[in-house]
Amino acid sequence: MALDELKSAVPDFAKDLKLNLGSVIGNSDLPKQQLWGTVLACAIASRSARVLRELEPEAKANLSAEAYTAAKSAAAVMAMNNVFYRTRHLLSDPEYGTLRAGLRMNVIGNPGVEKVDFELWSLAVSAINGCGQCLDSHEQVLRKAGVDRETIQEAVKIASVIQAVGVTLDAEAVLAE
């Protein structure tokens, strides 16, 4: 199992990450599609080749072709949206918030999977990318759809652990050169 290989690659000084990786994925209460879509989207968003290489095959095996593509689409569109909306939010001139975005985001309206799943994946990617406006937007859509806070927090925990594992393993690879 690739998850076990990834856990074994985490150095001893980051034992908490190893334990958390096993628990947030291995003991998740999320339905399989929500879990593995979140894992795939976050592995992509982590920008860690090692994390993506290790987690993608298991994600692909646990997702339908449509869900696999939708999770990759969530990572892609949020990579753009998180930069755009975070920048508009951070600029001190509020006029930027009144300007038309003019960016295509059609996949959000028709992701090819349940809207709740896509929103959860988008929220998790937004957590990695640090866009508060996108986090608020996706959280509100999820809450209006009846998703509880515990489910939303579970996706954020997956995002945080995958990101931390990617940072740690990438740093160790550089230091080993």
pLDDT digits (tens, 9 = 90+) for 133-160: 999 999 999 999 999 999 999 999 999 9
Specify the pLDDT at position 2: 83
For 103, the 3-state DSSP assignment is: coil
Candidates 25, 134, 141, 156; catalytic one: 134
Q: The pTM is what?
A: 0.95
Enter the DSSP assignment of 54.
Answer: H
Give the integer Cα–Cα distance in Å for 3 and 125: 20
**Is residue 68 within 8 Å of residue 59, measured between CB atoms?**
yes
pLDDT class of 1 with cuts at 50, 70, 90: low
CA atoms within 13 A on the CB side of 56: 13
42 is catalytic: no
Q: Angle, nearest 10°, between helix axes 65-90 and 32-45?
A: 50
Candidates 35, 74, 131, 156; catalytic one: 131
Instruction: Name the nearest CA neighbour of 9 among 95, 127, 1, 105.
Output: 1
pLDDT digits (tens, 9 = 90+) for 22-70: 999 999 999 999 999 999 999 999 999 999 999 999 999 999 999 999 9
